[in-house]
Amino acid sequence: MPRAPKPFELPPIQPHPRYGAAPTRSGLGLDADELCAGFWRYAQGHVLDARLRLVRQPSGAVAPRSTFYLFLASAIAADTARQRYGVFPRRHYVDILRRCVRCGTWFLFFAREQRHWYETLGFWIDADCVHCLDCRKADQRTRRASARYAERIVRLTELGLRELTTLLRDALLLADAGLLKDRHKLARLRRVGRDHGVPEALTLALSALLDGPDSTGSRPKGTP
């Protein structure tokens, strides 16, 4: 009798506040071929059964960075009438384990999360989730900071202390993300901040940015 294949060992998974940190079970009872026939991209994944044994390999070569795993037991049926697609809908959603393309963290893109994306939020069916939740949240924070910064910097001299404090905080966040490199602007913000008494920690952080060894605007990505 052939030896049963060893079950896949789950890596540490970033917890999701709503869906948890482990694949779920739906009781739908699909087989791997049925699952993969339900959406073109699924055929590029490793399919694992309820006991985490590999039951289907990716068809074709997949770059190691693009490796992902599908948990067959988590598959749920989709309501394709509510999806936005060109030719092929997704007939099923399934918990997908993959690595964030930015930070390398393992995360689950949950079947129920996909249903929310594609049936409630109206995302295009081929829109893929390649960033972990922490990176998606960081992106949202950066976008909000960027919009607020653009709106406030043009009326710098009219800002009250609270708005000015937020502006300096936003500037620091954007500078850290490599999106704000104008040293004159940063120096001016520091000066106005000092004159109006924003918390010293913020003007000191701006000083560190302006005077630090890596103050050329080329701070390495991911520097805290």
**Minimal distance, residue 26 CB to Zn ion, in Å:** 26
Q: What is the DSSP letter of 214?
A: T
Rule CB under 5 A: say whether 52 interacts with Zn ion.
no
Say whether residue 13 binds Zn ion (CB under 5 A). Answer: no
**135 part of the interface to Zn ion, by CB under 5 A:** yes
Q: Which long-range contacts (CB under 8 A, 24 or more apart) does 47-55 make?
A: 47/72, 48/8, 48/72, 49/73, 50/25, 51/7, 52/7, 52/8, 52/9, 52/10, 53/4, 53/5, 53/6, 53/7, 53/8, 54/5, 54/8
Structure tokens at 170: 């936003």
Nearer CB in complex with Zn ion: 14/166: 14
Q: Is 159 in the site for Zn ion (CB under 5 A)?
A: no
Tell me the closest approach of the beta carbon of residue 15 to Zn ion, in angstroms. 13
Does position 100 bind Zn ion by CB under 5 A? yes
Q: How far is the CB of 102 from Zn ion (least distance, A)?
A: 5
Among 47, 72, 76, 132, binds Zn ion (CB under 5 A): 132
Closer of 132 and 205 to Zn ion (Cβ): 132
Q: Is 70 in the site for Zn ion (CB under 5 A)?
A: no
Vertex 175: Cα angle to 145 and 215 (nearest 5): 165
Contact 13, 22 (CB under 8 A): yes
* Shorter beta-carbon distance to Zn ion: residue 100 or 164: 100
Question: Residues binding Zn ion: what is the number (CB under 5 A)?
Answer: 6
Beta carbons within 8 Å of 208's beta carbon, 6+ residues apart: none
Contact positions toward Zn ion, by CB under 5 A?
100, 102-103, 105, 132, 135
